[in-house]
Chains A and B, each alone.
Chain A
Amino acid sequence: MDYLYYPQALSDLIISFSRLPGVGPKTAGRLAFYLLQHSDDAEQLARTITTALREIRQCTVCGNYTEADPCKICAGERRDRTVLCIVEQPRDVVALEKTREFKGIYHVLHGVLSPMEGIGPEQLNLANLLKRLDNVKEVIIAVNPSVEGEATALYIARILKPLGTKVTRIAHGLPVGGDLEYADEVTITRALEGRRQL
């Protein structure tokens, strides 16, 4: 690759960029050169990254990204604590919040079962989930409708069933293989309405 001919620090930068999702070697090079030419932007970016890493943590209750712990939703007085919605990633919380339809609380798994990627039940934020179910009447599983999402939903349903909690799954209206993140608000709202019991 070209970047082997660059000075060490520059090629490290290019390699770091190319590790990011959706960034190929070409774009990585373009970004690196841009930052070298625009040092103000580069320093700003470096500071923002450092701050984000310092200030953002996972909520110890739900697992969502937050500055204050517990997060605003977990601490919120108006939230309905009888309905808990399980999602894959923090960005799925955003997608659901934008619909303003869901008033309950969330639980973020940070992934789905995927042996290929070395993700088993122990790699997911599941242990905390069981501690949160005291007042919960319904658990809505809103992970993406991939085969991994489906396996995860079934796995969670099997754990929760014996505890007597009602478990539902939203799938209708969401494109198979599509990410919740990209579904528009109407689709998500419709999906929430059409959930089925597991």
Chain B
Amino acid sequence: MYIKDLHLKNFRNYKVQHIQFQQGINLLIGSNGQGKTNIIEAINYLLTGKSYRIKQEDELILWEENSFYLNGIFNVVDRDINLESYYEPRKKVMKINQLSCKKLSDYVGTINAVFFSPDDLNIIKKGPQERRRFLDHLISQLRPAHIPLLNSYLRIIKQKNILLKSEKNYNLLKSQIQVWNEQLIELGLKIIKNRWDFTDRLNEYCSPIFNQIFSPEYNMDLIYLTTGKSLEEALENFPDYIFKKMAQEIERKAVLVGPHRDDVQIIFNNKEAKLFASQGQQRALVLCLKLAEMEIILNEKGEYPILLLDDVLSELDSYRRQYLMNYIRSSQKQTIITMTDLEEELITCDTPIFEVNKGRIRRKD
């Protein structure tokens, strides 16, 4: 799948902009703060209805304007698909081929992209939340039903937390906890199952990639940390855990168990990568995860997703960078790469180069 055309109106620092991308590699070149990442963000927003960099959509609107509009033409299995996003405060419209979507889950996953930026190092470095987010994002791309599942689950957790803090009458508290728990278990089990399945798949696809990126004496393993050591055990234990923790939850006035507290442990060379892998090794591990994501989507959709590389090439050592370049060049995949300075090794005579300058884009001929 690939993006052919992108129109932006009042999005970030772009007033009106049209870009025609090509299959294969596309380069966005410009100094700091000119609007390269904003383009990647626009594509991401168009595909997912979300942006990882914002708290509120209002931040995406060009300053002093009231709304933004994005329109993209994508190609998937030889068909063109038109995606549109319009946003003004308190009104959000997402369309596929001119038809409005009522729910985000109708929209997400139509076209897939894998996005890789230096911030992704947080998947390894930071807390469980980052790893759950990475996993949930991948699942949502391929199983859009995971989105309402997560939303409902998180809402139950929020309601239960407030209930634990606010209900003074013990009997009423207990009888209400039971009904929230009943749903928490039902949805929690589905989330654990989805996450477990996709951790397995990541493992499967990571290892061949890993063996090419690292020397063979190393290994990599992902472990989904939840209520059991196998999926069956986890699913069986989960309801019991919830019941057993009830007294403690009442005492501590907080929800203490559930997949919103699970983690995906990343093991490198038999030790936790977060603690023992070097900075460069951590980067290479993230590269592995991202390329595994590419392969999983290929496997499921029959086509590679769009690969969006924001500023990452300069951060990899020459061996891994060469590996990544070979990966990008082999077989059909569209890649949009941002960088501050043009690196000749990346281009062939027909590689489109887009110069980004203060919210304007010009194709260099």
Contact = CB atoms under 8 A, between A and B. Distances in A.
Asked if A pairs with B, the answer is yes
Interface of A: 24, 113-116, 118, 120-122, 147-148, 150-152, 154-155, 158, 175-177
A158 B152 contact: no
Contact of A118 (B103, B166, B172): B166
Contact of B172 (A114, A122, A154, A158): A122
Interface string B148-188: 10001001101110110011000010011011101100000
Of A150, A151, A154, A175, the most chain B CB neighbours within 10 A belong to A151
Contacts of A176: 148, 152
By secondary structure, the B interface counts as helix
A7 B182 CA distance: 53
Given A114-B159, A115-B160, A158-B179, 8 more contacts: A115-B167, A120-B172, A121-B176, A151-B176, A151-B179, A154-B178, A158-B178, A177-B103
A120 B167 contact: yes
Contacts of B178: 154, 158
A158 B177 CA distance: 13
Interface of B: 90, 102-103, 148, 152, 155-156, 158-160, 162-163, 166-167, 172, 175-176, 178-180, 182-183
A86 B159 CA distance: 22
Contacts of B175: 121, 155, 158
Contacts of A113: 176, 179
A177 B152 CA distance: 10
B176 A147 contact: no
Contacts, number: 51
A115 B163 contact: yes
A122 B167 CA distance: 11
A116 B158 CA distance: 8
Given A113-B179, A115-B166, A151 B159 contact: yes
**Which 10 residue pairs are nearest across A and B when measured between Cβ atoms?**
A115-B163, A154-B179, A115-B162, A151-B179, A155-B179, A115-B159, A147-B152, A147-B156, A147-B155, A116-B162
A151 B155 CA distance: 12
A141 to B, nearest CB: 12
A148 B179 contact: no
A36 to B, nearest CB: 26
A158 B163 CA distance: 18
Contacts of B158: 116
A93 to B, nearest CB: 24
A158 B179 CA distance: 9
22 contacts: A24-B90, A113-B179, A115-B159, A115-B162, A115-B166, A115-B176, A116-B158, A116-B162, A118-B166, A120-B176, A121-B175, A121-B176, A147-B152, A147-B159, A151-B159, A151-B176, A151-B180, A151-B183, A154-B179, A155-B176, A158-B178, A175-B102
A150 B183 contact: yes
Nearest to B163: A115
Nearest to A154: B179
Contacts of A24: 90
Contacts of A120: 167, 172, 176
A68 to B, nearest CB: 34
Contacts of B180: 151
Contacts of B162: 115-116
Nearest to B180: A151
Of B162, B167, B176, B183, the most chain A CB neighbours within 10 A belong to B176
A29 B192 CA distance: 49
Contacts of B152: 147, 176
Nearest to A151: B179
Contacts of B179: 113, 151-152, 154-155, 158
Contacts of A114: 159
Contact of A177 (B148, B167, B183): B148
A155 B178 CA distance: 8
A150 B162 CA distance: 17
A118 B96 CA distance: 39
Nearest to A159: B175
A114 B159 CA distance: 7
A134 B164 CA distance: 35
A147 B152 CA distance: 6
B182 A154 contact: yes
A64 B166 CA distance: 29
Contacts of B160: 115
Contacts of A152: 179
A24 B182 CA distance: 37
A148 B159 CA distance: 9
